[in-house]
Amino acid sequence: MASEIEIKRQVREFYDHVGWQEASDGFYQNASYEDLRPVSHDYIHNCHLRVLRHLHPSGRLLLDAGSGPIQYPEYMEYSKGYQRRVCADISLVALREARKRIGDHGLFIICDIANLPVKSNTFDGMVSLHTIHHLPLDEHIRAYQELYRSLAPAAKGVIVNGWDNPPLTRFLNFWIGWVDRLYAIFRSQPIVTDRGKDSLPSANQTVSRGTYVRKHDSTWLQKEIGSLMPIQIWCWRSVSVRFLRTFIHERFAGRWFLKILYSIEELFPHFLGKYGQYPLIELRKYE
Ligand SMILES: C[S@@+](CC[C@H](N)C(=O)[O-])C[C@H]1O[C@@H](n2cnc3c(N)ncnc32)[C@H](O)[C@@H]1O
């Protein structure tokens, strides 16, 4: 088992040399873990914008913990009403790229989010998207505590991270497994991975995570984090990229299906936040 320092070194090296290198069409390699096909665009876009509902619309400083290069246009919206966006990341390449995007609106700190070099009660808003899962498991609590500590009284923050094998994903993976098997029987051509096109079938396009990732389940979060600070679990996105690539296609009414899925997520945000793939965890600091 690698030490905590070694894990962080591996993660940093991965993002410096792979994740934040441009892969194609102006996208970073990291975007290959997302579904960027036109058929899924509106759904993915609207899920990204859900974050805004859980932040104060304006303030002095917004912390982006594990900012990466602020890779999607929707991410820019989070700090629009804030004077400055403080990007904190372990990867120098991430921060250089972020600076190209937001220039003087940004302040940039190279650091570990489990040991934030900032005063308590500093930020009016905070986002941390898909980052805590890169920390060694026994540092997750400390990362939540650091993010909470950095928030000003009454400030709000949003953390998005996938669950470890949630019930809805387990159920859907069962059906994805069947699609994989059927495809293996009927296919006559080798599978060609084509992220940019709405091609069939994508069930086999499981992309390797590439670096260290460890996740918890909702029981852990409620017990370990819910006892330390006020949290609320909402739905960010209930289905995985693997599900989207397998079942969502233009010619099978994919857009229509995703509109319905989005409406169902809006109707049952707490249920699908808890049992779906990606929760949005809202933190609100006591006044
Ligand atoms: C999956 S990327 C997410 C980037 C961005 N939040 C997004 O959603 O596109 C994870 C980011 O977290 C950073 N990271 C990983 N471990 C970190 C740590 N311990 N402290 C600070 N940043 C870290 C990585 O360098 C990388 O930029």
Cα 199 to Cα 27: distance, rounded to the nearest angstrom: 19
For residue range 80-115, what is the model confidence (pLDDT) as tens digits? 999 999 999 999 999 999 999 999 999 999 999 999
DSSP 113-142: TTS--S-TT-EEEEEEES-GGGS-GGGHHH
Higher pLDDT among residues 47 and 32, named by residue: 47
Which pLDDT value is given to residue 181? 87
Picking from 223, 44, 61, 213, the residue whose alpha carbon sits closest to that of residue 127 is: 61
Residue 203: pLDDT band (50, 70, 90) is very low
Instruction: Flag whether pLDDT at 223 surpasses 70.
Output: yes
Give distance in angstroms: CA of 64 to centre of ligand 1.
Answer: 10
pLDDT surpassing 50 at residue 201: no
Residue 170: alpha-carbon gap to chain centroid: 19
- Ligand 1 centre to CA of 86 (Å) is 14
Which percentage of the chain shows pLDDT scores above 90? 84
Only one residue has tokens 């917004």, namely 62
Q: Are 279 and 236 in contact (CB under 8 A)?
A: yes
CA of 123 to the centre of ligand 1 (A): 19
User: Distance, CA 252 to ligand 1 centroid (Å)?
Assistant: 35
Contact criterion met (CB below 8 Å) for 121 and 147:
no
Q: Which of 44-58, 178-192, 219-233, 244-258 has the lowest mean pLDDT?
A: 178-192
Sequence letter at residue 231: I
- From atom 27 of ligand 1, which residue's Cα is the shortest distance away? 68
Spell out the SS3 assignment of 195-245: CCCCCCCCCCCCCCCCCCCCCCCHHHHHHHHCCCCCEEEEEEECCCHHHHH
Ligand 1 atom nearest to 12, measured from its CA: 25
pLDDT at 262 over 50: yes
Q: Looking at residue 188, what is its pLDDT?
A: 61
Q: Which amino acid is at 268?
A: F
Residue closest by Cα to atom 26 of ligand 1: 68
User: Between 189 and 256, whose confidence is greater?
Assistant: 256
CA of 161 to the centre of ligand 1 (A): 11
Q: Do 64 and 88 form a contact (C-beta atoms < 8 A)?
A: yes
**How far apart are alpha carbons 47 and 52 in whole angstroms?**
10
Angle subtended by helix axes 41-49 and 254-267, to nearest 10? 20
Categorize the per-residue pLDDT at 186 as very low, low, confident or very high, splitting at 50, 70 and 90. confident
Q: 214 φ, ψ to 5°?
A: -135, 135
Please report the pLDDT score of residue 196 as a whole number: 36
128 Cα nearest atom in ligand 1: 6
Backbone angles phi, psi at 202, to 5 degrees: -110, 5
Best mutation site among 89, 208, 213, 280 for ligand 1 pocket (most ligand atoms within 8 Å of CB)? 89
Distance 139 CA to ligand 1 centre (A): 15
Ligand 1: nearest atom to the Cα of 127? 6
Query: Given pLDDT bands bounded at 50, 70 and 90, which one contains residue 209?
Result: low
Whether 1 shows a pLDDT value over 60: the answer reads: no
Q: What average pLDDT does range 265-272 have in this prediction? A: 98
User: Which residues form the pocket of ligand 1, taking CB atoms under 6 Å from any ligand atom?
Assistant: 8, 11, 15, 30, 66-68, 71, 89-91, 94, 112-114, 129-131, 134-135
Mean pLDDT within 247-269: 97
Query: Measured in angstroms, how far is the CA atom of residue 264 from the centroid of ligand 1?
Result: 30
Residue 267's pLDDT band (boundaries 50, 70, 90)? very high
Looking at the CA of residue 64, tell me the nearest atom of ligand 1: 6
How many angstroms separate the first and last alpha carbons of the chain?
Answer: 41
Q: Give the predicted TM-score (pTM) of the model.
A: 0.92
Residue nearest to atom 4 of ligand 1 (CA): 68
CA distance 235 to 269: 5
Nearest CA to ligand 1 atom 10: 131
Average pLDDT over residues 177-183: 85
Beta-carbon contacts of residue 229 (< 8 Å; ≥ 6 apart): 144, 145, 148, 283, 285
Percent of the chain exceeding pLDDT 70 equals 92
Write out pLDDT tens, residues 10-42: 999 999 999 999 988 789 999 999 999 999 999
In whole angstroms, give the CA distance from residue 278 to residue 274. Answer: 8
Contact 196, 36 (CB under 8 A): yes
Question: Distance from CA of residue 214 to its chain's centroid?
Answer: 13
Over range 124-128, report the average pLDDT: 98
Is the pLDDT at 189 greater than 80? The verdict is: no
> What would the two tokens of residue 3 be?
């030490």
